[in-house]
Structure 1
């Protein structure tokens, strides 16, 4: 419906464009990794690095290196890297990065499907409300699963970089996805609003 399509702008056009660009970059990256030396797809085959965000330290050498003024100290967090990663380290690196990529691509695909369906069938339809709920569940469950998977992968990867007696000092690797959770709850709310609109329209049409 033309009227409903206008209601969905500029999000409709923006999501469609971003989805095409992201999918194009993914395909291009995969193809280049097969034929171009030095290009690695999904971090496979390259250096494996990981910053220990929960650890920090400072020294006079660090202060001087980063040009700190007198009386100012520089706190630095270590970043562990290996240019010859083992297969397990490569697998953990992929597990650390891949879930968020899947969450983003899946979310874009579901959002694109939602917007195209709403433009075609109408905003206030049961199908649109169902797709809103589906996107909300994907974002809620996906963000929680992604957080857990990445936290486990990060902790295991860090453990391969340090001595065993340092494993307990790696710091907190958990990051609760508050924004994604509240965005998902908002989608559930809008789905209920759309569903209520559908019922109201059906009542009006039945009365007429």
Structure 2
């Protein structure tokens, strides 16, 4: 019989490595922020920016600046930034930037827990199915909450950068996270497969 740990490779090793690297970067970033100017922790303290996707423009200067070939027009959308952000602007910046980090880091932690539990208890177990379902719900709900939070942050932040007559130039702020949603649905399907495997294993053990 194949060892369950081998069945989980190379994902098992990759997730473990990525988590260690991310934790190391977080610790290093915190330490450096204490001694080096320009490095900030918690998404607060740096420039606050927002891009207006609803408007764009071009000129010969932008064509040259961004390396456009002859006959090619380079369209650019303005990015508004301030290095003297108010408390509310910083709060909206955090609301925009922090949720995807939480989604990623939380998903990696749940995936790491799933893989370690499967290596320890077995792939076809009720515990593995439960952890797989939890990861699916985290991805499904988390991706929607992240999109909503980022949309709200952009809608609230943009008017603080422009005149009132430009407030409608932000453009689309909501994108349906199709990949995350279908991945979550795929995980729910695998939950059913694992549960079916658990029943089959129990039937075989009862027969033996």
What TM-score do the two structures reach when normalised by structure 1?
Answer: 0.94
**Runs of 4+ off more than 6 Å:** none
Q: Distance in 2 between matches of 1:152 and 1:39?
A: 26
Aligned to 1:105: 105
Deviations 1:140-190 (A, max 9, x none): 000000000011101211121111111112110111111100110110000
Query: Which residue in the other structure is 1:27 paired with?
Result: 27
Q: Work out the CA distance in 2 between the residues paired with 1:71 and 1:36.
A: 45
Distance (Å, rounded) in 2 between the aligned partners of 1:146 and 1:57: 30
Distance of 1:124 and 1:67 partners within structure 2: 55
Q: What is aligned with 2:9? A: 9
1:43: Cα distance to partner? 2.6
Question: Quick one: distance in 2 between partners of 1:11 and 1:69?
Answer: 43
Which stretch shifts more, 52-61 or 155-164? 52-61
Structure 2 distance, partners of 1:4, 1:69, is 54
Task: Using the TM superposition, name which of 33-42 and 20-29 deviates more.
Answer: 33-42
Alpha-carbon distance in structure 1 between the residues aligned to 2:73 and 2:126: 59
Aligned partner of 1:59 in structure 2 is 59
Q: CA deviation at 1:32?
A: 1.8
Contact 2:133 2:188 in 1 (8 A): yes
Structure 1 residues 2 and 203, CA, compared in 2 at 3 Å: closer, same or farther? closer
Q: Given that residues 133 and 188 in structure 1 are in contact (C-alpha distance below 8 angstroms), is that contact kept between their aligned partners in structure 2? A: yes
**3-state secondary structure, aligned to 1:43:** coil
Residue 46 of structure 1 corresponds to 46
SS at match of 1:49: strand
TM-score normalised according to structure 2 size: 0.94
2-side partners of 1:143 and 1:71: how far apart?
A: 40
Q: CA deviation at 1:67?
A: 4.4
Q: Would the aligned equivalents of 1:2 and 1:119 in 2 still touch at CA under 8 Å?
A: no
User: 1:158 is matched with which residue?
Assistant: 158
Three-state SS of the structure 2 residue aligned to 1:42 is coil
Is the counterpart of residue 127 in structure 1 residue 127 in structure 2? yes
Residue 41 (structure 1) shift: 1.1
In structure 1, list runs of 5 or more residues that go unmatched: none
> Contact (CA 8 Å) 2:66, 2:74: kept in 1 or not?
yes
- Retained in 1: the 8 A contact 2:53–2:171? yes
In structure 2, list runs of 5 or more residues that go unmatched. Answer: none
Partner deviation per Cα, 1:19-73 (whole Å, 9 max, x = no partner): 0111111122122222322211133111112222232112233234334444432
Of 111-120 and 67-76, deviating more is 67-76
**Structure 1 residues 38 and 66: CA distance shift in structure 2, 3 A:** closer
User: In structure 2, how many angstroms separate the alpha carbons of the residues matched to 1:8 and 1:120?
Assistant: 11
Q: Give the SS at the match of 1:84.
A: coil
